[in-house]
Amino acid sequence: MVTLSQFDVLALKRDFPILSQEVKGKPLAFLDSAASSQKPRQVIECLEDYYRRYNANVHRGVYKLSEEATFAYERARGKVARLLNARSPREIVFTRNTTEAINLVAYAWGGANLKPGDRILLTVMEHHSNIVPWQMLAQRSGAALDYLPVDSDGRLALEALDSLLSERTKIVAVTQQSNVLGTINPVAEIVRRAHAVGALVLVDAAQSVPHMPVDVQALDCDFLAFSGHKMCGPTGIGALWGRRELLEAMPPFLGGGSMIKIVELEQSSYADVPARFEAGTPAIGEAIALGAAIDYLNEIGLDRIHEHELALTSYALGRLGDVAGLTIFGPRTIAERGAAVAFTLDGVHPHDIAGLLDGEGIALRAGHHCTQPLHRVLDVMATARASFYLYNTTEDIDRLVVALDKARKLFS
């Protein structure tokens, strides 16, 4: 596999205007892409071009600007479909983000299909966006929640899966990659075992789609959600992929314009998918710019990006392992994890780490990362997290290690 060279990364870094700045007199080292990635000029210019040149609503006008906007918007849907190897662009629903996509399934599919006595299977490592919507569904429907535990190495305890799955399990919701532990989960195996008992599977791919090739047909899952802002795209745009037969059987999530066929005073009939789930004026420019982000990543190659991140993570685990008093969470086997490394430093609160590192021009996350149940299992209130992307280098990691040593000495 061909990886990104140091020269490639430095060249790519110039595509991201924000990365050329200094923070408190130091060059910016951005190590928080798991929260939200930076945007290349190609995406910024695409978004600006829409607002400057053909800003108009979609699917409604017959004039030139509207037709151009509609074409670009639907072309972006096609790019998402090809990215995921979906069977049809009609299986792609644009949403605001992963959170909205999961809520859509929980409300529309869950509300129509779950009843008292049914069970929903989650995992302990899920982001709150893949826990809270299912809790709310359970409260509305009378269904119950089950959780697949995490072992001491930060992997899902798959040996417990068969005992948790039963004919009463109606849906399994699982992250493909943990935003804290970096663990890449064996989704295809989980899907196979879930389908064996008749359960559907929703995949939270917020941390995987930006970083590696993801094929919904190979995974054989039933729903998959991701966000554009984590993959060089704008905020406010994401997507839900669903099997077409499932989407067509689901009632609308929101009511309003664009999602209808005929509206009468007493009742309405609904549009075909995906329009049924895209009520109101969508995030047109953002969807088009997401298409530009997909073009950008495809031109580089998601396989190359993934290999680059594996090399960075391997380097980071080695260098961070030399910092006295530092504890790393998650698998130590590189093939099992993505480009996120969460850690604690003895005697130093993660928020203090983040504050001190900001003074060194290093941006990283501190807190529970919207995974409070996981942090309780880890027996820590918070962690610091460094996360890498295509524009990071080993120099960023070296600066991180130097700053952590400084923090340790300062607080000791």
Q: How far apart are CA 184 and CA 179, in angstroms?
A: 10
Cβ atoms of 293 and 233 within 8 Å: the answer is yes
- Measuring CA to CA, how many Å separate 34 from each of 24, 72, 208, 250, 364? 23, 28, 10, 31, 10
Structure tokens at 77: 């849907």
Structure tokens at 244: 């077409």
SS3 category, 141:
helix
Structure tokens at 246: 């499932």
Alpha helices in 21-63 (DSSP H): 41-53
H or E stretch covering 29: strand 29-30
Q: Which residue has the tokens 């406010």?
A: 236
Q: Which residue from 183, 198, 185 is spatially nearest to 340, judged by alpha carbons?
A: 183
Q: Which residue from 67, 76, 52, 90 is spatially nearest to 296, judged by alpha carbons?
A: 76
Active site residue 221: no
Q: What is the DSSP string of 347-388?
A: TB-HHHHHHHHHTTTEE-EEE-TT-HHHHHHHT-S-EEEEE-
Instruction: Count CA atoms within 13 Å of residue 3 on its CB side.
Output: 10
Pairing of strands 326-329, 268-270: unpaired
- Judge residue 264's burial from the number of C-beta atoms within 10 Å of its C-beta, 0-12 exposed, 13-18 middle, 19 or more buried: exposed
Give the single-character DSSP code of 220: T
Q: What residues contact residue 404 under an 8 Å CB cut-off, 6+ apart?
A: 320, 323, 326, 345, 353, 357
Alpha helices in 14-97 (DSSP H): 41-53, 64-84
**Catalytic: which of 46, 221, 232, 370?**
370
Q: In DSSP terms, which residues pair with 282 in a beta bridge? A: none
Phi and psi, residue 123, nearest 5°: -125, 160
Residues with catalytic roles: 370
